[in-house]
Structure 1
Amino acid sequence: MRFSDAWRACVGTGRMDLALRRDYQDSLALIQREIGFRHIRGHGLFSDGMGIHRPFRHLEQEHVRYSFTYLDQVVDAYLELGIRPFLELGFMPSGLASGDQTVFWWRGNVTPPRSWRAWADLVRATVTHLVDRYGLDEVRGWPIEVWNEPNLTQFWQGADADAYYRLYQVSAEAIKEVDAQLRVGGPAISPGADEWLERFADFVIGHDVPIDFVSRHAYTSGPARHVPFGSRQRLAPASRLLDQFALPRKQLAGTPLADLPVHITEFNSSYCPDNPIHDTAFQAAYLAPVVAAGGDPADSFSYWTFSDVFEEADVPTELFHGGFGLLTHRQIKKPAFHLYAFVARMGDRFLSRGPDHLITTDADGRVTVLAWAPVDHTGAGRSPRTHNLRFSVPVDAPAAFLLRSTVDEEHGNAFAAWQEMGRPPSPLPRQFDTLREAAEPARSHRRLPVRDGRVDMEIALARHEVTLLEITPVTGSAPPWWDDDDLLDGPS
């Protein structure tokens, strides 16, 4: 049985034009080297910062020019790094917007289009350009999602469901005019408005509107208590994320949409981009069971986001500011980064899973164990100080080599090191070097005995620890003349 890699299918990002920055591209390159996601999704494709929709007046006539200068640079950079777009159609370009309501520090317009025909033209022209530039076979592999969280008034004017249905229909039909096999879906709803999906399904079924996948988001945080340059929230158990992942299939059971792929196009603990929980070792241990099991209910689940190069709430005032990213600015790895990097090193053959571990193997007989300490979601300090785990795995060799990589409150935790060095808002170069070293997992290794074809182990996990055990069969041996005990025994 294969271990699902739905965790790798997509990762989130800040608005698309941020991809023009060096820090962003350096961060994405690191993510791809050590983790390797397949798709990337973010807001702002049609926002003014990308410069695609360019209305102008000539000879007393209104015209529109489409400029793909920045879009080409962004997509080229993605493809060069081995990652493909998961396109989100939004937000509304100011030259096409029917109102002035915006969201975020960078002012993404969230009003319907003044002209539905002009919106269809924009969608059709953009998709046609991508097909012409990158090829039909390539773009058929890029899911296209219509808008973002239209159930929230801050993301869609009035949270007007009927207006969203029209936006979806016009967009989907424009996409299918370019090519019937291009994949389109939605409604990308946030938690707390689950009935939206059912009503959306009724609409697309009743009006025979094209749909190739359904999408929603998942978070476990409650209302935010805002402090200057930060937020604090209570969390529900991480299992609630898996419940949210599973909900679309439950809601669509027995309908014509029951067999469609389900994409969780955003998930995290907190939905606030300034909640320090994102920077902690707690975050990695909290999300470990979700990453291990999320492929059961969903075809993909996209961590929001890969990098703190983001700016929805404003320009960050500190290196560690509670950003969504797996990486801070300047590529400091957070504990959650290592959770993903650990899973990326696991085998593709599923052996077993429990409430505190996942075990896989690969074609070479290497066994990998991802283990995590259970957390108390009501307070990080209430999590158990230690957690013991015992397991037995098959190894086809007389002995095995163990490499253990560990992240916890003291290891692989640059946030803790940053706090201890006085929380410098803009670290000096030597402080950055220290933080990069502090961000690396602790490594240990030893030889293990194999008895009756198995390795039996018991390990102790510290508070909020996530650890990766790589158990490799030992097949080589030292030459007969080699003796480690006489390394200093030369001729007298």
Structure 2
Amino acid sequence: MKMGKITVDPNCRIKFNNNVDYCVGTGRLGLALTEEYLKELEFVQKMIGFSYIRGHGLFSDDVSIYHEYEENGETKVEYNYTYIDRIIDSYLKLGIRPYLELGFMPGQLASGTQTIFYWKGNTTPPKDYKKWTDMVIALLVHLKKRYGEEVTSWPIEVWNEPNLPGFWYKADMEEYFKLFKETFLAIKEYDSRFKVGGPAICGVNDAVWIKAFLSFCKREGLRPDRITRHHYTVEFPERIGHYDYSKLEDSEMRFANLKSTRDIVDSYDEFKGLPIHLTEFSTSYTPKGVIHDTNINAAYLARQLSRLGDDNEAYSYWTFGDVFEEQGVPDSLFHGGFGMVAAGNIPKPTFWTFYFYKQLKLFSDECVYRDDNAVIVKKDNGYSGILWNIDEEDEIRELLMEVTDSSDYTLITKTVDENCCNPLKLWHDIGEPAYPTHAETELIKSAAWPLTESTVISAKDGVVSSQITVNRNGVVYFTLTKRQLTSDRGYDYDKVVSYH
């Protein structure tokens, strides 16, 4: 057991950009036409409430926007917005708006046949850039007409991971730069209020791509509204059967990688201070990464969320739910899916990490303490914080928090760890049913909620001391607030609980 002590200075102020609820990822947009998808999103929105949602496939054939036809020997184009309207209507009903990722390529507009994923998103450049930009602008015109001027505030990102050959034919850098330039200029000419970002890279040669992209923009006189990139934190996985097993990378190394992007952007006078959006982040980058379902994932991401805002304006977790088909329809309930929520609206431990950070944001934005294992905020009547334990050598961490005060306080803790909030273990213990019955789903869900505990703490010698236990791979959310007792006439709690 490792003991630790936190002394809170109420006058201390620490920079802390807690933008946890700005955006969340989703599988291809076409999945928003399914019932289970919308149920999971409704649950996530009710409990957390993200502002934006980003997913692939806006222009893929299953959404069916772009169509060519022959008339009088001439090839003509028409657009169909039936599905995208239905999708965005559903989003708005749930209080979330699209972060418009422009991709992939409609089959009839594509220059080649290369596709990615089970659902065959085409990842080749357009055969005609004018038809591409016409399609983009026609969509924005339609969206503005249908949803009003607020559409101009919806973020736009040009393509997804063009530095990977599977996502952009041959990872052709110059061809991507052409796509960005043509798209950026067309959008800005239509309505300069739209905010357009790129290059949406992931992993491979990230520094080379960021530098080349910024140099290209400088040379061409372009000023993107933000720089976008992705952030995953595991080594190359081992595939066994249907599943991917990965080792987590060192947190400091991953934060340093993010800082390097900030430094590159700021090294250009033209782009210094330009916002950076992590339009995808998670631990494993595969939809069968078994770590996603675990408590260690929740604890590791607690540390990530405490610092992602240091160099990035926004960061979007990939993804909100397990309705996802990149490598096919999931084979089992717990299959390592990206989602923070499993089928049947079973919240995974990671869901609570995000929920806790949202509660922290609602409590206060005045950060008074932050280290590698804790973040604490303050308001007039007390404190709120998140503690986590991802040190593999320590089974239990005891933290003593001291506040100078003479009042009585109420300490409330919500604990997520392998002992008290571990639906994966219950699923395993009952035999790992791939397709659980309704009764089994409800049983598993009953093991997916934090343990809530409370106690009253009285000051001793002008100091309020609260001791909080964080078990291995645990995340604890707490509030320590001044207590006001307002008992009704004749009510004696001590007598009630000792009555025989």
TM-score by length of 1: 0.94
The aligned amino acid for 1:18 is: L
- Residues 34 and 344 of structure 1 are in contact (CA less than 8 Å); yes or no, is this contact kept in structure 2? no
Is the contact made by 2:404 and 2:463 (CA closer than 8 Å) also made in structure 1?
Answer: yes
Q: What's the CA shift for 1:392?
A: 1.9
SS in 2 for 1:191: coil
8 Å CA contact 2:280, 2:316 repeated in 1: yes
Once the two structures are TM-superposed, the CA of residue 140 in structure 1 deviates from its matched residue by: 2.2
Paired amino acid for 2:186: A
Secondary structure at 2:368 match in 1: strand
Separation in structure 2 between the aligned mates of residue 489 and residue 65 of structure 1, nearest angstrom: 76
Paired residue secondary structure (1:6): coil
1:209 is displaced (CA, Å) by 2.3
AA aligned opposite 2:303: P
Secondary structure of the 1:113 match is coil
CA contact (8 A) 1:285 1:375 kept: no
Instruction: Give the alignment partner of residue 354 of structure 1, picking from 371, 381, 390.
Output: 371
Q: Deviations along 1:89-110, whole A, 9 cap, x unmatched?
A: 0000001001100001100000
2:241 matched residue in structure 1: 228
Return closer, same or farther for 1:161/1:422 CA change in 2, 3 Å cut-off. Answer: same
Question: What is residue 103 of structure 1 aligned with on the other side?
Answer: 116
Give 2:187's aligned residue.
175
Task: Note the 1:411-426 alignment, pairs <5 A.
Answer: 411-426=420-435
- Kindly provide the CA deviation profile for residues 14-59 of structure 1, in whole angstroms up to 9, marking residues without a partner as x: 0011111111111111111111111111100000011110111222
Whole-Å separation in 1 of the counterparts to 2:84 and 2:29: 8
**Alignment partner, residue 370 of structure 1:** 386
SS in 1 for 2:414: strand
1:383-433 Cα distance to aligned partner (Å, 9 max, x none) = 4211122222366x7211122111111211111111111100000111111
Higher relative contact order (CA 8 A, sep 6+): 2
1:433 maps onto 2:442 in alignment: yes
Aligned to 1:380: none
Distance 2:295 2:277 in 1: 27
* 1:234–1:58 CA distance, 2 compared to 1 (3 A): same
Q: Residue 220 of structure 1 contacts residue 240 of structure 1 at CA under 8 Å; is this kept in 2?
A: no
Contact 1:231 1:272 in 2 (8 A): yes
Amino acid at match of 2:468: I
Could you tell me which amino acid in structure 2 is paired with residue 359 of structure 1?
Answer: I
CA contact (8 A) 2:319 2:338 kept: yes
Instruction: Please give the alpha-carbon distance, in whole angstroms, between the structure 2 residues aligned to 1:489 and 1:457.
Output: 25
- State the 1:344 CA deviation: 1.3
What is the correspondence of 1:3-82 to structure 2 with a 5 Å cutoff? 3-82=16-95
The 1:341/1:453 distance shift into structure 2, 3 A limit, reads farther
Structure 1 residues 291 and 55, CA gap change in structure 2 (3 angstroms)? same
- My pick for the range that moved more, 242-251 or 26-35, is 242-251
Contact kept? 2:411, 2:466, Cα under 8 Å: no
Residue 279 of structure 1 corresponds to 293
Give me the whole-angstrom Cα distance separating, in 2, the residues matched to 1:233 and 1:196: 26
Which segment is superposed worse, 425-434 or 67-76?
67-76
Q: Is the 8 A contact 1:241 1:290 kept in 2?
A: no
Per mean C-alpha deviation after superposition, the further-off stretch among 218-227 and 155-164 is 218-227
How far does residue 452 in structure 1 lie from its aligned partner after superposition? Answer: 6.1
Q: Distance in 2 between matches of 1:369 and 1:410?
A: 21
Q: Which residue identity is paired with 2:65?
A: I
User: How far does residue 483 in structure 1 lie from its aligned partner after superposition?
Assistant: 2.9
Structure 2 residue ranges without an equivalent (≥5):
1-12
The 1:486/1:463 distance shift into structure 2, 3 A limit, reads closer
Q: Which moved more, 1:418-427 or 1:479-488?
A: 479-488
Separation (CA, whole Å) in 2 of partners of 1:57 and 1:454: 81
Structural mapping, 1:154-303, within 5 Å: 154-194=166-206, 195-255=208-268, 256-303=270-317
Q: Cα–Cα, structure 1 residues 445 and 96, in superposed 2: closer, same or farther, change >3 Å?
A: same
Q: 2:137 aligns with which of 119, 124, 129?
A: 124
Contact 1:405/1:467 (<8 A) preserved: yes
CA distance in 2, matches of 1:454, 1:333: 37
Cα distance between partner residues in 2 of 1:453 and 1:246: 42
Is 1:336 paired with 2:354? no
How many residue pairs get aligned? The number is 481
TM-score, normalization by structure 2: 0.93
Q: Secondary structure at the match of 1:352?
A: strand
8 Å Cα contact 2:223-2:271 kept in structure 1 = no
What SS does the aligned partner of 1:216 have?
strand
SS of residue in 1 equivalent to 2:347:
coil
Return the offset for 1:489.
11
Matched residue type, 1:356: N
Aligned to 1:345, what secondary structure does the other structure show?
helix
User: What amino acid is aligned across from residue 23 of structure 2 in structure 1?
Assistant: C
Query: 1:307: Cα distance to partner?
Result: 0.6
Check if 1:465 corresponds to 2:482: no
Aligned equivalent of 1:379: none
Q: Are residues 1:447 and 2:456 paired?
A: yes
1:387 to 397, 400, 425: 397
1:456 matched to 2:465: yes
Q: Is 1:314 aligned with 2:328?
A: yes
Aligned CA-pair RMSD: 1.8
In 2, the alpha carbon distance for the partners of 1:486 and 1:259 equals 62
Residue deviations 1:149-208 (CA, integer Å, cap 9, x gap): 000000000000010000001111111122011100100000131210100000011001
Given the superposition, is the C-alpha separation of residues 400 and 207 from structure 1 closer, same or farther in structure 2, using an over 3 Å criterion?
same
Deviates more, 1:315-324 or 1:67-76: 67-76
Q: Cα distance, 1:451 vs. partner?
A: 4.2
Q: Which moved more, 1:319-328 or 1:439-448?
A: 439-448
Provide the secondary structure at the position in 2 that maps to 1:95. Answer: helix
The structural deviation recorded for 1:243 is 2.4
> 1:139 pairs with 138, 151, 169, which one?
151
2:6 corresponds to: none
For residues 6 and 392 of structure 1, the distance between their equivalents in structure 2, rounded to whole angstroms, comes to 27
Query: What is the alpha-carbon distance in structure 1 between the residues aligned to residue 49 and residue 219 of structure 2?
Result: 40
* CA–CA distance in structure 2, aligned partners of residues 365 and 162 of structure 1: 56
The answer to whether the 8 Å contact 2:302/2:353 transfers is: yes
SS at match of 1:294: helix
Farther off after superposition, 242-251 or 111-120: 242-251
Give the C-alpha shift of residue 440 in structure 1.
0.7
Letter in 2 for 1:148: N
Cα distance per residue 1:44-99 (max 9 Å; x no partner): 00000111101112222211111111111111111121111111000000010011
Q: Which residue of 1 aligns with 2:165?
A: 153
1: CA distance, partners of 2:495 / 2:281: 57
Counterparts of 1:485 and 1:459 in 2: how far apart (Å)?
24
* Secondary structure in 2 matching 1:295: helix
The CA deviation string for residues 446-488 of structure 1, in whole angstroms up to 9 with x for no partner, is 1111346652222222110101111221123325643335449
Q: Is the 8 A contact 1:8 1:300 kept in 2?
A: no
